[in-house]
Amino acid sequence: MPGKNSGFTLIELMIVVAIIGIIASIAIPTYQGYVMQSQINRALGELSAYKSAVEERLAQNGALVNADIGYSPSPLTTGTPATDVAVLNADGSGHLQVTMGGNAHGNLTGVVLRLERSVGGTWNCVVDTSGAADWSDRYSPSGCTVI
């Protein structure tokens, strides 16, 4: 009696490949969404680090240029050392602002992250998505206003 062949049939292999395809079609977009969300949060965190330097310069009535606040451009933004990220008005209001680009995901290119300082000294986060055609609200950082 000949030995029985053991192994998978073509149908079984096709079913496994189809299942892997379905799982991948769900997992890849979800993963990319998490990547974009983490890039937004990283850029916002890096920008937030300059709030204390801005407050210090405001208290000293000092100049507000990148060198004075220790600005170092993020690879996720289009910022350069020559372009100031901070603006301070005479009344004490102002903002810190960067535009996503550089090594950021393509769907984030053109998103403007802004930390606005009120006259009273409170900071608010604003995300301007008008420059990003493929923006989704699921990328929004918590506590930020999306316009």
Domain count, the chain: 1
Domain with 57 in it:
10-146
pLDDT at 42 over 70: yes
Flag whether 5 is in a domain.
no
Flag whether 2 is in a domain.
no
Going through 24-69 in order, the beta strands assigned E by DSSP cover: none
- Map residue 25 onto helix, strand or coil: helix
pLDDT at 141 over 90: no
pTM here is: 0.77
Flag whether 131 is in a domain.
yes
pLDDT digits (tens, 9 = 90+) for 128-139: 988 887 888 888
pLDDT at 24 over 70: yes
CATH of the domain at 65: 3.30.700.10
121: left (phi over 0), alpha (psi -120 to 50) or beta: left
pLDDT digits (tens, 9 = 90+) for 80-129: 888 888 888 888 888 999 999 888 888 888 899 999 999 888 999 999 98
| pLDDT for position 98 | 92
Flag whether 126 is in a domain.
yes
pLDDT at 6 over 80: no
Flag whether 64 is in a domain.
yes
